[in-house]
């Protein structure tokens, strides 16, 4: 079994450095192009199904891929990005101006790591009991990192996932291994 983990294509807020969280932001032109290029690359694989966050930026990415590969698309709210509470739509400079340098230490309604982990665990457990098939997952940076931490607990990935990136995990003797990480060569 192989899992292809895909971060959604770029948005205007990505370029502006705005926290997106659960805000429903569409792909920009570059994001649409990146999703199309990734879909072309994925034709080389034997993908059977694609799961996606229902937020527009991930759904648009997944729809482009699903249409190109002619595979079933399943939307799942558990794959949504961490809810950013009051910081959604703001840049780092705006957060500092509003709440000070220690804004991360304040209660600004940001979804807890425990909540994100619970959603991720629920999805992964459900995926584990489905018939073995090569599966694509389109989601968001924090959620994909949580998924990787769930499947490969001892691995350390400190690089932020790039928009329209592909990470590939393979199940070998009941152990998940990362065979490709944060790859964007299809965008070149």
DSSP assignment letter at 129: T
Residue 85 annotated as part of some ligand binding site: no
Q: Which pLDDT does position 60 carry in this prediction?
A: 98
Go through 138-168 and write b for each residue having 16 or more CB atoms within 10 A of its CB, e for each that does not.
bbbbbbbbbbbeebeeeeeeeeebbbbbbbb
Which domains can be identified in the chain, with CATH numbers? 2-187 (3.40.50.1240)
Q: Which pLDDT does position 1 carry in this prediction?
A: 84
Q: Which pLDDT does position 171 carry in this prediction?
A: 85
Residue 7 annotated as part of some ligand binding site: yes
- Which residues are the active-site residues? 8, 81
Residue 109 annotated as part of some ligand binding site: no
pLDDT in tens, the chain (188 residues): 899 999 999 999 999 999 999 999 999 999 999 999 999 999 998 999 999 999 999 999 999 999 999 999 999 999 999 999 999 999 999 999 999 999 999 999 999 989 998 998 899 888 878 777 899 999 999 889 888 888 888 777 777 899 999 999 998 888 889 999 999 999 98
Q: Which pLDDT does position 155 carry in this prediction?
A: 73
CB-CB contact of 186 with 40 (8 Å): yes
Sign of CA dihedral 27, 64, 138, 35: negative
Residue 176 annotated as part of some ligand binding site: no
Q: Which pLDDT does position 150 carry in this prediction?
A: 83
Q: Which pLDDT does position 85 carry in this prediction?
A: 96
């Amino acid at each position: 079994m192989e899992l292809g983990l895909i971060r959604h294509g770029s948005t205007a807020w990505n370029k502006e450095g705005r926290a997106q969280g659960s805000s429903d932001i569409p792909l920009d032109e570059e994001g649409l192009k990146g999703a199309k290029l990734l879909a072309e690359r994925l034709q080389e694989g034997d993908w059977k199904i694609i799961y996606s966050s229902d937020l527009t930026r991930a759904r648009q990415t997944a729809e482009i891929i699903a249409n190109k590969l002619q595979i079933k698309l399943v939307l799942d709210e558990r794959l949504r990005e961490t809810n950013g509470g009051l910081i959604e739509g703001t840049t780092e400079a705006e957060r500092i101006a509003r709440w000070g340098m220690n804004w991360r230490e304040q209660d600004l309604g940001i979804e807890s790591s425990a909540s994100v982990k619970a959603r991720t665990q629920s999805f992964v457990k459900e995926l584990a009991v489905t018939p073995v098939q090569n599966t694509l997952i389109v989601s968001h940076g924090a959620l994909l990192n949580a998924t990787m931490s769930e499947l490969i607990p001892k691995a350390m990935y400190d690089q932020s996932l790039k928009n329209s990136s592909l990470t590939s995990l393979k199940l070998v003797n009941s152990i998940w291994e990362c065979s490709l990480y944060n790859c964007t060569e299809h965008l070149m």
